[in-house]
Amino acid sequence: MAKRFIRVLWKWPQWLMELLSWGKSFKNNPIIGNYWLNLCGLHVARVVLAQLLFRFRLLLLAPLVPAADRRDFLKSGFILKENFLPEDQFRHLAEELQNYEGQVREFVEGTTLTQRTFMVRDAREGLPALKAFVEDPRLDRLMRYCSSKNRPPLFYVENLCNHANVTPRPDPQRDMHADTFHPCVKGWLYIDAVDDSNGPYVYVPGSHRLSWRRLKWEYRQSLEACRKGEARAPGRYWDGSFRVSERDLEGMGFAPRKFCVPANTLLIGNVYGFHRRGEALAPSNRMTVWMQARDNPFNPLFTFWPGSTARAFEWAWGRVLQRLDRGKLASGEQRNFVGRFSR
């Protein structure tokens, strides 16, 4: 009993600090997951404050991108640019990634086999076409603005093999959801054309904005996430990545959009907005350069050293991945191999 008390006491500073960071787990943090605090509006207060600071940083970073891009991002929650790279440059990039050999993480979600490689700075040095894309000033400015943190994102290559797993299991990526309680961005440069055969991205335009209906929905979901054990509704409510039903979407006045796009399309989305991976109707592949930028939402300012900060985040996240790998490999949830992506 004494040891348990000491462990809990030791964790209190961490739990308190998570309140002012990106911590979102209603299960692992008893403060974030406290029913009475959320009944009084704790979760809603975090959502509102994060949104206000996000808009403040976007205002300061507005000179980075053209006014049309700012309007699209603020209105719809995404920026879409077809034929982003010159034709020759894109062809070289596609060939380079399809022939890439290196360390690949592989895991199963539903019937989809996901293969993903974390492309750190040193790895990119040996891939000139990828390096040129990563250092493209247009991409750099867009990601620095949309993240509101003025730093380049983390870069991956992701290859999805649809209908590669015949054992039925839940697929969290195909449920309509928001990634977390605060604005953050992901980006994709599509190496393959996307249609219904290989699972298009589905996004709900405008759902990134904090309307009164969305705020009431957030409040209800926070109370549901505080329930314990069997009393809690299924659907990963406990981790703060709330799932939304079609009925709730209609009630908030939203309609999903499916992104069937040609290869060489860049899509950047605010994943506080509702989204999911679309159904793939046939055995197929979908490769992207996948980007993610997530930072402390309660930091009122942004970095003044984009390159150095990006390298620090990349180093830290690499260490986190190594730690996560140990548990996933031991449980059989993931396998790592050195080789090419499955095509």
pLDDT at residue 234 is higher than 70: no
Looking at residue 228, its pLDDT comes to 74
Structure tokens at 161: 């093999």
Burial of 175 (0-12, 13-18, 19+ CB in 10 A): middle
pLDDT for 254 = 94
Asked if residue 277 has pLDDT above 90, the reply is yes
Helical spans, DSSP H, in 153-211: none
- The pLDDT of residue 154 is above 90: yes
With a CB cutoff of 8 Å and minimum separation 6, the contacts of 232 are 224, 225, 238
Report d(CA 54, CA 39) in Å as an integer.
Answer: 25
- Distance, CA of 8 to CA of 15 (rounded, Å): 10
Highest mean pLDDT out of 29-33, 57-61, 103-107: 57-61
What domains does the chain contain, in order, with CATH numbers? 14-339 (2.60.120.620)
Q: What is the pLDDT of residues 324-343, one digit of tens each?
A: 989 888 988 899 999 999 98
Banded model confidence at residue 6, pLDDT cuts 50, 70, 90: low
**Would the pLDDT of 169 be above 80?**
no
The percent of the chain in helix, strand and coil, each rounded to the nearest 5, is 45, 20, 40
Confidence at residue 63, expressed as pLDDT on a 0 to 100 scale:
97
Percent of the chain with pLDDT over 90: 77
* pLDDT band for position 54 (cuts 50, 70, 90): very high
**Helical pair 137-147 and 42-61, crossing angle rounded to 10 deg:** 140
Does the pLDDT value for residue 233 go beyond 90? no
Q: Which residues contact 336 (CB under 8 A, 6 or more apart)?
A: 103, 104, 105, 106, 325, 329
Q: Span 254-282, mean pLDDT?
A: 96
Cβ atoms of 83 and 97 closer than 8 Å: no
- Cα gap 285→273, rounded to integer Å: 25
Residue 36, pLDDT > 90, answer: yes
Band (pLDDT 50/70/90 cuts) for residue 236 is low
Residue 165 has pLDDT above 80, yes or no: no
The percentage of the chain sitting over the pLDDT mark of 70, rounded to a whole number, equals: 94
Q: Are 335 and 113 in contact (CB under 8 A)?
A: no
Asked if the model's pLDDT at residue 78 lies above 70, the reply is yes
Instruction: Decide if pLDDT at 5 tops 60.
Output: no
Mean pLDDT of the chain: 92
Q: Is the pLDDT of residue 17 over 80?
A: yes
